[in-house]
Amino acid sequence: MTKLAVVGATGLVGEKVLEVLDRKQIPFDELVLFSSPKSAGKEIEFQGKTYIVEALTEEKTGGQFDYVIMSAGGGTSKTFAPLFEKHGAIVIDNSSQWRMHEGIDLIVPEVNEPKLDRKIIANPNCSTIQSVVPLKPLLDSYGLKRVAYTTYQAVSGSGLAGREDLSNGEKGEAPKNYPHPIYNNVLPHIDVFQEDGYTKEEQKMIDETRKILSQPSLNVTATCVRVPVQDSHSVHINVTLEKKATVEDLKHLFDEDARVVLVDDVQNNQYPLAIHATGKDEVFVGRIRKDESLENTFHIWCTSDNLLKGASLNAVQVLEQVMQLNK
């Protein structure tokens, strides 16, 4: 008997988690849906059954769950993930709360595997997830010396509030979520600024890349930008390799690797687009070219659906991974 819980079931990512669970036909015997008190009582139709969403309480964490997928924010996760863990559940958490904690696995199934020293598994930042997927074959084949990211992140990365700022901005309304209008604008600001001038989002990408790839001394830097796009993040990756390579080497590597989809025919205007990534599971790479300003360095353009591979899909893939490990 497998008992599964989804926390934050009424949010953007929670809804996608349910879609992916259904599409991938993840096996379970019992499902419980949790939310904040304000969404409790809502009815959700899933696989022909009507579920009543329950308010999450400390008492309910003792419900003998095998697996819990949490998409309810860092504060909720900080309180409730250890309680689920204490009662024996494996928790897959979508927030940033646990990612850099020692002993907590930070997992992208195409890249690494959980050790389960703790029964809390962290889902990485959405932009990090799509970036480390193409970096992994590069690391394995050529080694990595340096990675520089510039992200172009969709408003759905901010949840419903981000989407509303974009749609309301088109009507001339002032933003409620962002410090400036996002409609017809670009914001070089995601999350809060730190003393060194980097944002927390940028620091997340730096730290998480090193942890996921098990490269603690890798030179990584990032600039994270919000753009007026509804869904799917784009990331420019500038990467310096340890071993000599050519553009054709990299294209061949990606073309042969099942973890990514190569879209790189610039003569026919074929390259990864956010609009084409939306609704798809894959990570798309293209516009691969040599950076002539640095030795053995290359530009890679990468797109992926931030609500799918960047959040819900990755979480469900982690669930599949641990289910397989527990067989």
CB of 133 closer than 8 Å to CB of 127: no
CB of 111 closer than 8 Å to CB of 131: no
Strand 30-35 versus strand 3-7 pairing type: parallel
Position 266, amino acid: V
CA 15 to chain centre: 15
Integer Cα distance of 302 and 76 in angstroms: 31
Integer Cα distance of 87 and 81 in angstroms: 10
Residue 290 phi, psi (nearest 5):
-75, 135
Is residue 300 helix, strand or coil?
strand
Position 112, amino acid: N
Among 87, 101, 126, 299, the active-site one is 126
Does residue 126 have an active-site annotation? yes
Position 184, amino acid: N
Among 180, 189, 233, 276, the active-site one is 233
Is residue 5 helix, strand or coil?
strand
Q: Angle 178-182-185 (CA atoms, 0-180°, nearest 5)? A: 135
Q: Angle 126-253-293 (CA atoms, 0-180°, nearest 5)? A: 75
Integer Cα distance of 28 and 11 in angstroms: 22
Residue 109 phi, psi (nearest 5):
-55, -30
Known catalytic residues?
A: 126, 233
